[in-house]
Amino acid sequence: MNWQALRHNPSLLIGLVATLAFALLGVVSIWWTPYPIEQVAIAQRFQGPSPAHWLGTDHLGRDMLSLIMSGTLTSFVVAALGVLIGVAVGVPMGLAAGAWGGAVEWLVLRISDLTFAFPAVIVAILITALAGPGETNAIIAIGVFNVPVFARVARGGALAVATQDYVAAARLAGHGNVSIAWRHLLPNIMSLLIVQGTIQLSLGILAEAGLSYIGLGTQPPATSLGLMLRDAQSLFLIHPWLSVVPGLTIVFIVIALNLAGDGLRDAMDPRLRHQGLAHGAG
Amino acid sequence: MHPRKSLTLALAGLMLATASALAQPTEIRIGVALEPPALDPTAGAAEAIDVVVYQNIFEGLVRIDQTGAVQPGLAESWTISQDGLTYTFTLHEGVTFHDGTSFDAEDVKFTFDRLLAEGSVNAQKALYEPISDVTVVDPTTVEFTLSRPDGLFLFNLGRGDAVIVAPESADNNGAEPIGTGPFAFVQWDRGSRVVLEQFGPYWGDKPALTKATYLFIGDTATMTNALLAGDVDGTNNFAPEALAVFEGNPQFKVLVGSTEGETILSTNNAKAPFDNLLVRQAMAHALDRQEVIDGATYGYGVPIGTHFAPHHPYYLDLTSTYPHDVEKAKALLAEAGYPDGFSATLKLPPVAYARLSGQIIASQFAEAGIELELINMEWAQWLEDVFANKDFDLTIISHVEPFDIGIYANPDYYFGYDNAEVQSLNDQLNATTDEAERLALAQQIQTIITQDAVNGYLFELAQTGVWNGKLDGMWQNAPVEGVVLRDIHWVE
């Protein structure tokens, strides 16, 4: 991928820029928000947008922009760690299935099937219901439903690469399965994983919002976009603004991530590329 | 008869029937936030039980009316001996339980023997401990002997905890309640609803309603929609934050009344640093009560400065004892040996008023240097950790029992307040029936616990009912826990 690819693909550019902008907004909230988010000021609640509070104030008089910034960070961190768990567990599983085949492959696929049989959010609810609500459990829950996704993607990619001549050559040269998976399969499915990771990140953000919305994710006084929606839902008929702001933020983040994911897939798809596999036989 | 004429007549008859059916609906669907864990009010503390069964399925010897006064119930009259130790009740005749068994003095004796037995699980057993003996004089006369005079004895007999049950059905009341009330239990679809129907052979005045369905709707947004769509006809307690949706809407009646729920920042007085009076006073000064009331109850809570219901004649207004003053709080903390403040945990049960108050108080305390860590808990966990094991620093809870200042005389109570003077005053209060003396004693106790800043006194919970505009007869105030269906009726 290069700048030319970006120029030919404006949606990728928009997606990446918007994603980075939201991520930056979240990261900045670690050091600075317009107002501290723990600071309650009942006298100032339910204000509309104003120069002092760009996005207004919530039911406890907290600055909505500060909450959105902090909530975006929570959503990104929870989703990213969830995806990371999925990658860390799922990719080795998929590679093992691809490299060994046979019984290992069968086992990996059946475990994936089993996890896929339950809708992702149901799995997440099950975990948080068993282990109690909280950010950590939300991360684990999102991680668990990401595992089979990455296992499948890694296996699929690995199977395609495993038929290449240079893999056969490596095998003849005496490389074992582990070495082949690490040196040949993994580098060649990296682009697939990045694309899938971007898409899973957007699903993770939705899952975090969903879990917090039903009270199983982030707990106050910490905040997340889903939690803001939860706090606002009983007030929707009176103060719809409180739901609109976090709702739209979630929508924009997810659109940005999906644009980025689709753009990356187009840019990285081996069939669309001219220069062949970047990490050839080494 | 001419065929067309008969058709016309039939149609007219049909229309009449429809008209009268429309004019007098006799069914009601009530939305309530919490589903009761079981339906036996004599074996559980949950308010949700009384909401469904109190005075509807079960009745006591006396009943509490909506002003909080004691009215005859299953006992049509009673006499009290000069020394205040013997109560003789004359029971109604011809009363039957919903399963057809008859009610008499033996059932009364059984009820109180069961309540006071060694293994009794009655949540308010302590209230009835003054009873030393229940004697059946004849089938319609029963005599209670007390070990000491008890000014609240009749009121306590009217509570949901002292309703009369039958030996044949008592063990099963949790799942299938059998009482003597105007409504009989029909079915309970767990997680969804409880259905009651008018009990035909009821001994007293027949209620206007023939059927009542309690629907359990925990979520405020869902409840709002159910009310707006007419899926429920009302709710006894609606979340105050969304009350504005119904205020000013002529299709609905918003009833704002009082409850017996003193909401307090409960403080573990037995644990450092809260065993230090200076620390508790500092917390009292750090608290901005009005902001908590505005933020957590949308202004519907009534400020309290002590553990007493503001609408009670014994109430003493002590709200200005510790005015909001952050500098004073810091000075007191420094004097107590915490110049940089301290950290503590605040365990919050799953009720909106507690969760919101917690966030607001954490913000207020932070200004005075007290860092609170908020821990959200489910009911079962809260009851075990805080109420049973006293493993907490601070918590926020509404004490919904009427006239419950006696908890400050119990050093084993969860907030661990041990003051011999309060204990002796409370003993005198319990033993006195003279109104003027009782008032003086109750106010003395209120003053002491406020000055000792035992707990942070926040507000009296309001009851905010939302009902269909065509319904009448609902209780505005809640002097006892319950939604009494007796007087509810539809009007045109």
For residue B40, which of B179, B186, B222, B247 has the smallest C-alpha distance?
Answer: B179
Report yes or no: B355 and A220 within 8 Å, Cβ to Cβ.
Answer: yes
Paired sense of beta strands B456-468 and B234-235, if any? antiparallel
Enter the tokens of residue A105. Answer: 């492959």
In this structure, the answer to whether residues B360 and B440 fall within a common structural domain is yes
Please tell me the distance in Å from A263's CA to the nearest CA on chain B: 39
pLDDT bucket at A251, cuts 50 / 70 / 90: very high
Contacts of B231 (CB under 8 A, 6+ apart): B29, B215, B225
Q: Do A238 and B244 touch (CB under 8 A)?
A: yes
Domains held by chain B: number: 3
Contacts of B152 (CB under 8 A, 6+ apart): B127, B403
Tell me if chain B has a CB within 8 Å of the CB of A129.
Answer: no
Q: Which chain B positions have a beta carbon within 8 Å of A45's beta carbon?
A: 295
Q: Do A38 and B295 touch (CB under 8 A)?
A: no
Matching residue, tokens 């006894």:
B236
Amino acid at A44: Q
Is B24 inside any structural domain? no
Q: Does residue B13 carry a pLDDT above 70?
A: no
Contacts of B372 (CB under 8 A, 6+ apart): B343, B344, B345, B346, B358, B361, B362, B365, B366, B394
Q: Do A42 and B295 touch (CB under 8 A)?
A: yes
DSSP one-letter code for B141: E
Which one of B224, B235, B288, B348 would you mutate to disrupt binding with A, by most A Cβ within 10 Å of its Cβ? B224
pLDDT of residue A271: 58
pLDDT of residue B17: 47
In this structure, the answer to whether residues B162 and B212 fall within a common structural domain is no
Q: What is the mean pLDDT of residues A10-37?
A: 91
DSSP H or E run through B320: none
Alpha-carbon dihedral sign for residues B381, B382, B383, B387: positive
- Window from A84-93, B250-259, B364-373, B400-409 with minimum mean pLDDT: B400-409
Is B29 inside any structural domain? no
Q: Which chain A positions have a beta carbon within 8 Å of B360's beta carbon?
A: 40, 42, 60
Domain CATH for B59: 3.90.76.10
Q: How many CB atoms lie within 10 A of CB B366?
A: 17
Q: Torsion angle of alpha carbons B232, B238, B239, B244, nearest 10°? A: 90
pLDDT of residue B4: 52
Q: Quick one: residue B391, left, alpha or beta (phi over 0 = left, psi -120 to 50 = alpha)?
A: beta
In this structure, the answer to whether residues B241 and B278 fall within a common structural domain is no
How do residues B300-333 score in pLDDT, each as one tens digit?
Answer: 999 999 999 999 999 999 999 999 999 999 999 9
pLDDT bucket at B2, cuts 50 / 70 / 90: low
- Window from A214-218, B10-14, B36-40 with minimum mean pLDDT: B10-14
Paired sense of beta strands B342-348 and B370-376, if any? parallel
Q: Mean pLDDT highest for which of A191-195, B60-64, B124-128, B400-404?
A: B60-64
Matching residue, tokens 């030393």:
B132
pLDDT bucket at A282, cuts 50 / 70 / 90: very low
In this structure, the answer to whether residues B231 and B198 fall within a common structural domain is yes
In this structure, the answer to whether residues B416 and B285 fall within a common structural domain is yes
Domain containing B245 equals 177-258+468-490
Distance of CA A50 to the CA centre of its chain: 33
pLDDT bucket at A215, cuts 50 / 70 / 90: confident
**One-character DSSP codes across A121-146:** HHHHHHHHHHH-SSHHHHHHHHHHHH
CA distance B254 to B236: 10
How do residues B180-204 score in pLDDT, each as one tens digit?
Answer: 999 999 999 999 999 999 999 999 9
Please tell me the distance in Å from A236's CA to the nearest CA on chain B: 8
Tell me if chain B has a CB within 8 Å of the CB of A36.
Answer: no
Paired strand residues for B200: none
Nearest residue, CB atoms, B241 vs list A59, A61, A133: A59
Enter the CATH code of domain A56-281.
1.10.3720.10
Q: Do B359 and A40 touch (CB under 8 A)?
A: yes
Helix residue ranges, H only, B170-246: 220-229
pLDDT of residue A270: 54
Q: Do B221 and A133 touch (CB under 8 A)?
A: no
Domain CATH for B212: 3.40.190.10
Mean pLDDT of chain B: 91
CA distance B289 to B153: 34
CA distance A227 to A217: 8
In this structure, the answer to whether residues B210 and B228 fall within a common structural domain is yes
E-assigned strands of B100-182? 131-138, 141-146
CA distance A243 to A228: 7
In this structure, the answer to whether residues B395 and B336 fall within a common structural domain is yes
Tell me if chain B has a CB within 8 Å of the CB of A131.
Answer: no
Q: Which of B125, B157, B172 is the last residue of a domain?
A: B172
pTM of the model: 0.82
In this structure, the answer to whether residues B72 and B160 fall within a common structural domain is yes
pLDDT bucket at B417, cuts 50 / 70 / 90: very high
Cα–Cα distance list, A79 to A122, A211, B440 (Å): 16, 11, 61
In this structure, the answer to whether residues B420 and B381 fall within a common structural domain is yes
Report yes or no: B481 and B50 within 8 Å, Cβ to Cβ.
Answer: yes
Q: What is the mean pLDDT of residues B11-23?
A: 49
Matching residue, tokens 């999925």:
A86
How deeply is A28 buried, as exposed, middle or buried, from its count of CB atoms within 10 A (0-12, 13-18, 19+)? Answer: middle
Report yes or no: B386 and B396 within 8 Å, Cβ to Cβ.
Answer: no
pLDDT of residue B21: 47
Q: What is the mean pLDDT of residues A176-190?
A: 84
- Is the peptide bond prior to B479 cis by the omega test (within 30 degrees of 0)? no
Report yes or no: B242 and A237 within 8 Å, Cβ to Cβ.
Answer: yes
Matching residue, tokens 């058709």:
B7
In this structure, the answer to whether residues B271 and B358 fall within a common structural domain is yes
Is B136 inside any structural domain? yes
Q: What is the mean pLDDT of residues B349-355?
A: 90
Please tell me the distance in Å from A23's CA to the nearest CA on chain B: 27
Is B69 inside any structural domain? yes
**One-character DSSP codes across chain A:** --HHHHHH-HHHHHHHHHHHHHHHHHHHHHH--SS-TT---GGGTT--S-SSSTT-B-TTS-BHHHHHHHHHHHHHHHHHHHHHHHHHHHHHHHHHHHHH-HHHHHHHHHHHHHHHHS-HHHHHHHHHHHH-SSHHHHHHHHHHHHHHHHHHHHHHHHHHHHTSHHHHHHHHTT--HHHHIIIIIHHHHHHHHHHHHHHHHHHHHHHHHHHHHTTSS--TTS--HHHHHHHHHTTTTT-THHHHHHHHHHHHHHHHHHHHHHHHHHHH-GGG-SS--TT---
Q: Does residue A239 carry a pLDDT above 80?
A: yes
Mean pLDDT of chain A: 85
How do residues A29-43 score in pLDDT, each as one tens digit?
Answer: 999 999 988 888 888
CA distance A106 to B137: 81
Please tell me the distance in Å from B344's CA to the nearest CA on chain A: 15
pLDDT bucket at A281, cuts 50 / 70 / 90: very low
Q: In terms of CA atoms, which chain B residue is nearest residue A213?
A: B219
Q: What is the mean pLDDT of residues B249-269?
A: 94
Is B14 inside any structural domain? no
* SS3 label, residue B216: strand
Report yes or no: B350 and B377 within 8 Å, Cβ to Cβ.
Answer: yes
pLDDT of residue B68: 87
How deeply is B401 buried, as exposed, middle or buried, from its count of CB atoms within 10 A (0-12, 13-18, 19+)? Answer: buried
Q: Do B242 and A237 touch (CB under 8 A)?
A: yes
In this structure, the answer to whether residues B133 and B279 fall within a common structural domain is no
pLDDT bucket at B23, cuts 50 / 70 / 90: low
pLDDT of residue B44: 81
Tell me if chain B has a CB within 8 Å of the CB of A107.
Answer: no
pLDDT bucket at A5, cuts 50 / 70 / 90: low
For residue B110, which of B145, B162, B67 has the smallest C-alpha distance?
Answer: B162
Interface of B with A (CB under 8 A): 219-221, 224, 239, 241-242, 244-245, 291, 294-295, 355-356, 359-360, 362-364, 366, 374, 376
In this structure, the answer to whether residues B319 and B419 fall within a common structural domain is yes
